A and B are shown apart, each in its own frame.
Chain A
Amino acid sequence: MPANFVPPSGVEYIRVLPEIILAAVATLIMVLEPLTPAPRKRALGYLALAGFAGALAGAAAAGWRTGPAFSGMLEVDGFATFFRLLVILAGLLVTLVSFPYLRREEAESGEYYALLLYSVAGQTIMVSAADLIVLFIGLEISSIASYVLAGYMRREKLANEAAAKYFLLGSFATAFLLYGIALIYGATGTTRLNGIAQVLSDPRMAPAGILTGTAVALMLVGFAFKISAAPFQVWAPDVYQGAPSPVAAFLAAGPKAAAFAVLLRVFMTAFAPLTGRWLAIMWSLSLLTMIVGNFAALLQTNIKRLLAYSSIAHAGYVLVAVTAHSEEGVQAAMFYLTVYVFMNIGAFAVVAYFSRKGERYVEIEDLAGLGVRQPVLAALFAVILLSLIGVPPTAGFLGKFYIFQAAVKADLLWLTVLGLLNSAVAAYYYLRLIVIMYMKEPGDSLLELPGMAVSTRAALWTSAAAVVVLGLFPALIR
């Protein structure tokens, strides 16, 4: 043990309480899994639910004692606490959606819940990382668990394919991210985010431009993949379509929000001195992502693919907020990501319920007549879709409003105009879903539609309520 080793103090353990709880519960589930008979696997799910609830409390407790932990490797500040609560909440809602889904597919097992917990643990580490080493480890914990989750239905060819694609492209992108990290370490001699900012802003120590430029570009490629920004989005539709619906909901919520948190932190602190150089790239990235997401969504007939492209388009809107590179932009991004997590999980909850065993009914046309047969469900889905469009008084409207307001204040007029045009295009494919639900005659797809399970109902109601409440009282989280 080196002489200057300082053991972490008690308060530092409290600052990593959510990670400790998530990892401990996940490991406990793995231990209990072989001891649990098949009909009682649901109990492990309840344990996971308790784990998420405990982690929420832990994150709140950590949020009261902000500060660095473990020799400054983690920085638990308001920003980190916000995203920790968000990703843990996303995990909790996805667990609720998973209960009836896994029972229906006869695939309930402990490792599913354990992987969810591990993945969320990785995300909470990511969002509180103050050092590139920790950032990388958190990202990989989150990603490796998600690769397995995507291929969880291992007897389904579609799931195998989705997992293989996700894994190959994901690890390829991570490799680029790592190469960028190695170069930035070489250029600055440190892996601390604020240390990097210090070196980069000091003209006497300024490293070679080509080295930092390459490093920033490579890291941006890695992050762009994780947030599924165009042109690195090709994996997203395939993976969301092939993965089980609750997992697709999870992939579009937790890992994406966490990746955005990391992107914001790295580019707003470590690379802040280089703003002039990455701004134009971020600008084109956000525009391209919005265009690709929205226009490709117009052509989709599969609901899961449509939601995948919609999630790409929404990543584009958040990138507009990143491009604004201001305090206001960061706040707008945080608000939008929160709203997006709820909208997305709500929409996928409907798909998970509606698709029936083996995910047979995932075409848009299958929704025909849902408004007549299941008026409450259809109404909740419609609220979520309206929020995805950005219709007032839903939170989706305010989210877009804050983002474009921040963009205008940062003199990004063209990006704002093009972004607004894009959201008008988006209205078409969301409204089409509503039209089909309410104005078409019910077809075969509505025969033998079982009642919605209580847990999915809870997740759906929570999402729809959050979308409305945040739309009316945005001050709750701003």
Chain B
Amino acid sequence: MHPITTTHYLILSAALLAIGAVGVLIRRNIIIMLMSIELILNAVNINLIAFSRHYQDVIGQVFAIFVITVAVAEAAVGLGILIALFRNKATVQADEVEILKW
């Protein structure tokens, strides 16, 4: 049997980062983009807790709790902004939001 080491967690976290980043870049539904960002934040949490276990100290776990808290606040604000957008434009598709162009 092979034990699960810190490296395994890092690979899982890197995979989540990649899935999240690709999700933000290729999906056009803003809610799914928001979920992809949450995925990256959870990849961060996995990293932090794996390292915390690796070093046998508590900083990483404390940090993860802060990340979770902030992620909730961010999601609340993000959904609020989306609702305001939806009321005015009735769409959550990023490519239909295009008054502002460079």
Please list the residues of chain A having a beta carbon within 8 angstroms of any beta carbon in chain B. Answer: 133, 136-137, 140, 144, 147-148, 151, 154-158, 160-165, 167-168, 171-172, 174-176, 178-179, 181-183, 185-186, 189-191, 234, 237-238, 241-242, 296, 305
List of B residues within 8 angstroms of A164 by Cβ: 30, 81-82, 85, 97
Q: Is the interface of B mostly helix, strand, loop or mixed?
A: helix
Please list the residues of chain B having a beta carbon within 8 angstroms of any beta carbon in chain A. Answer: 10, 17, 20, 24, 30, 33-34, 37, 40-41, 43-44, 47-48, 50-51, 54-55, 57, 59-60, 62-63, 66-67, 70, 73-74, 77-78, 80-82, 84-85, 88-89, 94, 97-102
Would you call A182 and B102 a contact (CB within 8 A)? no
List of A residues within 8 angstroms of B48 by Cβ: 182, 185
Most central of A137, A156, A160, A189 by chain B CB within 10 Å = A160
Write the nearest CB–CB distance from A189 to chain B, whole angstroms: 5
Complex-state Cα separation, A175 to B70, whole angstroms: 11
Would you call A179 and B40 a contact (CB within 8 A)? yes
Complex-state Cα separation, A314 to B73, whole angstroms: 31
Complex-state Cα separation, A157 to B91, whole angstroms: 12
Would you call A140 and B77 a contact (CB within 8 A)? no
Q: Who on chain B is nearest to A234 by CB? A: B102
Would you call B40 and A186 a contact (CB within 8 A)? no
Given contacts A157-B88, A172-B37, 8 further A-B contacts (CB under 8 A): A161-B97, A164-B97, A172-B24, A172-B40, A174-B74, A183-B47, A186-B10, A191-B63
A-B contacts, CB under 8 A, total: 122
Q: List 7 A-B contacts (CB under 8 A).
A: A148-B77, A158-B99, A161-B97, A168-B33, A178-B41, A186-B10, A190-B59
Q: A171-B37, A237-B102 are in contact. Are A140 and B81 (CB under 8 A)?
A: no
Would you call B77 and A175 a contact (CB within 8 A)? no
Q: A160-B89, A161-B99, A242-B100 are in contact. Are A175 and B81 (CB under 8 A)?
A: no
Q: Who on chain A is nearest to B97 by CB? A: A161
Would you call A241 and B74 a contact (CB within 8 A)? no
Would you call A167 and B78 a contact (CB within 8 A)? yes
Q: Who on chain B is nearest to A161 by CB? A: B97
List of A residues within 8 angstroms of B47 by Cβ: 179, 182-183, 186
State which of A154, A168, A190 has its C-beta within 8 Å of the C-beta of B34: A168
Write the nearest CB–CB distance from A234 to chain B, whole angstroms: 7
Write the nearest CB–CB distance from A188 to chain B, whole angstroms: 10
Would you call A191 and B67 a contact (CB within 8 A)? no
Write the nearest CB–CB distance from A394 to chain B, whole angstroms: 29
Q: Who on chain B is nearest to A299 by CB? A: B102
Complex-state Cα separation, A370 to B46, whole angstroms: 58
Most central of A156, A168, A296 by chain B CB within 10 Å = A168
Would you call A151 and B62 a contact (CB within 8 A)? no
Would you call B85 and A133 a contact (CB within 8 A)? no
Would you call A186 and B54 a contact (CB within 8 A)? yes
Complex-state Cα separation, A140 to B73, whole angstroms: 9
State which of A162, A175, A186 has its C-beta within 8 Å of the C-beta of B100: A162
Q: Who on chain B is nearest to A238 by CB? A: B100
Write the nearest CB–CB distance from B75 to chain A, whole angstroms: 9
List of B residues within 8 angstroms of A151 by Cβ: 81, 84
Would you call A185 and B60 a contact (CB within 8 A)? yes
Would you call B77 and A147 a contact (CB within 8 A)? yes
Q: A164-B97, A167-B78 are in contact. Are A137 and B70 (CB under 8 A)?
A: yes
State which of B51, B62, B80 has its C-beta within 8 Å of the C-beta of A133: B62
List of B residues within 8 angstroms of A168 by Cβ: 24, 30, 33-34, 37, 78, 94
Would you call B74 and A140 a contact (CB within 8 A)? yes
Complex-state Cα separation, A234 to B40, whole angstroms: 21
Q: A157-B99, A171-B37 are in contact. Are A144 and B66 (CB under 8 A)?
A: no
Most central of A165, A182, A189, A237 by chain B CB within 10 Å = A182
Complex-state Cα separation, A114 to B30, whole angstroms: 28
List of B residues within 8 angstroms of A234 by Cβ: 102
List of B residues within 8 angstroms of A136 by Cβ: 66-67, 70
State which of B50, B59, B100 has its C-beta within 8 Å of the C-beta of A241: B100
Would you call B70 and A140 a contact (CB within 8 A)? yes
Q: A155-B88, A178-B41, A234-B102 are in contact. Are A171 and B78 (CB under 8 A)?
A: yes
Complex-state Cα separation, A171 to B82, whole angstroms: 14
Q: Who on chain B is nearest to A190 by CB? A: B59
Complex-state Cα separation, A183 to B54, whole angstroms: 13
Q: Who on chain A is nearest to B70 by CB? A: A140
Would you call B84 and A175 a contact (CB within 8 A)? no
Q: Who on chain B is nearest to A177 by CB? A: B44
List of A residues within 8 angstroms of B98 by Cβ: 161
Write the nearest CB–CB distance from A348 to chain B, whole angstroms: 17
Q: Who on chain B is nearest to A176 by CB? A: B40
List of A residues within 8 angstroms of B33 by Cβ: 168
Write the nearest CB–CB distance from A109 to chain B, whole angstroms: 15
List of A residues within 8 angstroms of B63 by Cβ: 133, 181-182, 185, 191
Complex-state Cα separation, A434 to B13, whole angstroms: 53
Would you call B59 and A185 a contact (CB within 8 A)? yes
Would you call A161 and B66 a contact (CB within 8 A)? no
Would you call A158 and B59 a contact (CB within 8 A)? no
List of B residues within 8 angstroms of A181 by Cβ: 44, 63
List of A residues within 8 angstroms of B59 by Cβ: 133, 185, 190-191
List of B residues within 8 angstroms of A163 by Cβ: 81, 84-85
